Chains A and B, each alone.
Chain A
């Protein structure tokens, strides 16, 4: 049987791009239909590309027939294949939610074109093997994503979007400055080629520092997270879902590419990696405690994102946790998207996002509450779920490396997650106070409930598909034992460990 040509990679970018153009020209009704259809088409294309990947291994495509250093390379390997699936599935679920919750009216006219453009940019970023093309992808995705926060033009959403925009621009500029330095010293923008040419020394450190700093700001890694909760907390639900599940993840993906694929020859990388991991630990503790203190449902979920992003930094100190980290990225993406959609439905039903309005809601919209609960199971890391598999993998890696501090942190993180999520359940299942019994509850459209439920089921389903998914995920070059001078594996966080 003939395998898919590498040119099929282009369609992952251009199918949504052309759909966005069509949505501009034809209006909201067509845009809405196209968004769902494009997601289905992307899924089919990913099946073919995945088949080729499992037969041939990683492959790439040089655009315009010109290889790097001058040309641009699109590349598919295990990591971005999994992330492309995440993008497609999350987009399919959230687009179905938006089908009903945004609709095809005036809001839809403004919503669908940037929504599709963001999908095209996310795919373009994930496929790109070029530091500069990734930057443009991130810019388009951020610009479209940020403008959608303000879709309803409420004052708090506008303020959150403006703050996000300014900080995102700062992050991008800092990253771009780092890329300019890389180009100045290597004459290449392709990350593998440029990485192999990096000379080491002060100038390489400067470039790495700039790129890392910019991306940390864009990924809202503690203590650079300030912009995230208001932005994710005030956007329309499908938009919050995509921001939390995808947009903050792709800038972390870029960070992984830079740290683990460029094979940077810098001696101090180990301690820098530990600093990054320490920021992750800070995120875990701070984000969870902040989530416990929230009075608004969506802000609670948004602070949960701040906390969960912390796990994704673990790999910088503990290379053995690579598979667990990526598994967490995928599982959190699905679970958090489901949770934002479910929370959106709960808020829609109540007409308010105050936590103290929740009591009695379970009887009115059981499907959404159930979706919220399933997503919570995965986020807390209870078996069987994707979150459990991920945390189990990270825990065994930390155990094997005798990094007891991390073992402790991982367990504490799960407990704190359970604490802030159980707070929501305790309220939801509590009986309604007689004073509030008369207040009307709106029923969300079935599509809004089903899409949340489907994404939550996928997060749970990931608990059963560990082996096939992890088989796809090879170790990056820098994390192979003894591959690079910078990062000996495994590392130890505790001073007493050998």
Chain B
């Protein structure tokens, strides 16, 4: 047995065990932690499968931001009902076993049907993308698909995120409850923030720039920037607000505006719609998307329509 096979075996067993811990856990907090660990193991699995873009997205959004959101929700639950803290349920969820059995059966059946599929006759989308890559000044086919050839899908995905923010505007607590800020006088915390936030901004910027030739791009960069915002929110440097300022709203829809205008603007030059012309337009669209993605994800974490500076 080679080291690679052993590693795969460990990842697979780990994934199954962690997934079981999430659905069958008797303690809510433990289940959340297991879910975050599951996300990280999943990211490793994607990396092993040669899909670094997915691995990055899974680590940043699947494990990182979703985990932070679940933990924040858990904290609100405790504020609401302190008795829930550390409560152990007498039995695991009634749904756990049926869900686990059904999903395993589904996966097994799909695996069985998919093992010996025949290669497709005719051109496959992936091949077409790799051929078209040679004509553009980029090296990462994932970015090519997301922006150049199926940009319309990416634009719609951005509007799905905006739809989530609009839902948040309806559902947010109307009492302007703020997250209880941690004491900002802890010197260690301030030192950490002073280092972590600039680094996150730098990493986000790098991921955005790298998207052209290596794994990365607007979604990953936006998630990392949102992570910096989450840190600021947790330490009280950003406060929740039930109202979104005009500037903030503009930031949330910026990606949609820039992408729509550039995509449809091609028609004025006699080009097909969404035939993104050059490298500079790609940077423009990606930059605008990054801002919108980072803001929406941050607001979704905070659970409020807007943010504001803390009162001095």
Contact = CB atoms under 8 A, between A and B. Distances in A.
A16 to B, nearest CB: 11
Nearest to A143: B163
Contacts of A132: 153
B117 A203 contact: yes
A1 interface: no
A206 interface: yes
A314 B206 CA distance: 55
A304 B70 CA distance: 38
A206 B273 contact: no
A65 B275 contact: yes
Contacts of B246: 25
Given A140-B160, A143-B160, A187-B124, A64 B276 contact: yes
B209 interface: no
Given A189-B125, A197-B121, A70 B114 contact: no
Nearest to A199: B118
A140 B145 contact: no
Which of B113, B125, B276 counts the most A-chain CB atoms under 10 A from its CB?
Answer: B125
B110 interface: yes
A275 B110 CA distance: 22
Contacts of A61: 273
Interface stretch (B6-14, B51-59, B194-202, B252-260): B252-260
Nearest to A205: B113
B109 interface: yes
A150 B156 contact: no
A206 B157 CA distance: 27
Contacts of B153: 72, 132-133, 136
Contacts of B249: 24-25
B164 interface: yes
A203 B249 CA distance: 46
Interface in A91-117: 109-110, 113-114, 117
B274 interface: yes
B166 A151 contact: no
A62 interface: yes
The A interface, classified by DSSP as helix, strand, loop or mixed, is helix
A187 B117 CA distance: 12
Given A25-B253, A65-B272, A197 B160 contact: no
A63 B274 contact: yes
B150 interface: yes
A64 B125 contact: no
B167 A64 contact: no
Interface in A46-105: 61-66, 68-72
Contacts of A156: none
B184 to A, nearest CB: 33
A187 B127 CA distance: 9
Interface stretch (A178-186, A249-257, A330-338, A482-490): A178-186
Nearest to B257: A21
Given A24-B253, A113-B166, A203-B113, A17 B124 contact: no
A140 B272 contact: no
A124 B171 contact: no
A91 B160 CA distance: 20
Nearest to A11: B264
Contacts of B114: 181, 184-185, 203
B159 A17 contact: yes
Contact of A185 (B117, B129, B250): B117
Given A199-B118, A203-B114, A64 B163 contact: no
Contacts of A70: 125, 128-129, 132, 145, 149-150
Nearest to A185: B117
A426 B39 CA distance: 58
A147 B171 contact: yes
Contact of B120 (A124, A148, A187): A187
B159 A121 contact: yes
Which of B110, B166, B271 counts the most A-chain CB atoms under 10 A from its CB?
Answer: B166
Contact of A14 (B125, B167, B169, B264): B264
A202 interface: yes
Nearest to B121: A197
Given A114-B163, A140-B160, A188-B124, A181 B170 contact: no
Contacts of A356: none
A214 interface: no
Nearest to A106: B174
A95 B127 CA distance: 46
A44 interface: no
Interface in B93-131: 109-110, 112-114, 117-118, 120-129
A158 B170 CA distance: 11
Contacts of B252: 24
Contacts of A203: 113-114, 117
A321 B8 CA distance: 53
A114 B163 CA distance: 6
A17 B127 CA distance: 32
B162 interface: yes
Contact of B273 (A10, A21, A113, A147): A10
Given A63-B152, A184-B114, A187-B120, A153 B171 contact: yes
A7 B275 CA distance: 13
Which of A69, A137, A188 counts the most B-chain CB atoms under 10 A from its CB?
Answer: A69
Nearest to A174: B106
Nearest to B164: A143
Contact of B264 (A10, A66, A137, A199): A10
B222 interface: no
Contact of B148 (A7, A24, A64, A136): A64
A50 to B, nearest CB: 21
A110 B109 CA distance: 44
A27 to B, nearest CB: 10
Contacts of B121: 197
Which of B153, B249, B250 counts the most A-chain CB atoms under 10 A from its CB?
Answer: B153
A240 interface: no
A153 B169 CA distance: 11
A7 B267 CA distance: 8
A147 B150 CA distance: 28
B67 interface: no
A139 interface: yes
Interface in B42-80: none
Given A71-B150, A121-B163, A206-B109, 13 more contacts: A21-B257, A64-B149, A64-B273, A65-B275, A69-B122, A70-B128, A72-B150, A117-B163, A136-B160, A140-B160, A184-B114, A187-B122, A188-B120
Interface of A: 7, 10, 14, 17-18, 21, 24-25, 61-66, 68-72, 109-110, 113-114, 117, 120-121, 124, 132-133, 136-137, 139-140, 143-144, 146-148, 150-151, 153, 158, 177, 181, 183-189, 197, 199, 201-203, 205-206
Closest 7 CB pairs of A and B: A187-B124, A147-B167, A65-B272, A69-B125, A203-B113, A70-B128, A187-B120
26 contacts: A17-B256, A21-B257, A62-B272, A63-B151, A63-B152, A63-B273, A64-B275, A65-B272, A68-B125, A69-B125, A69-B128, A110-B166, A113-B166, A114-B166, A121-B159, A136-B156, A137-B156, A139-B160, A143-B167, A147-B167, A150-B170, A181-B110, A184-B114, A187-B124, A188-B124, A206-B109
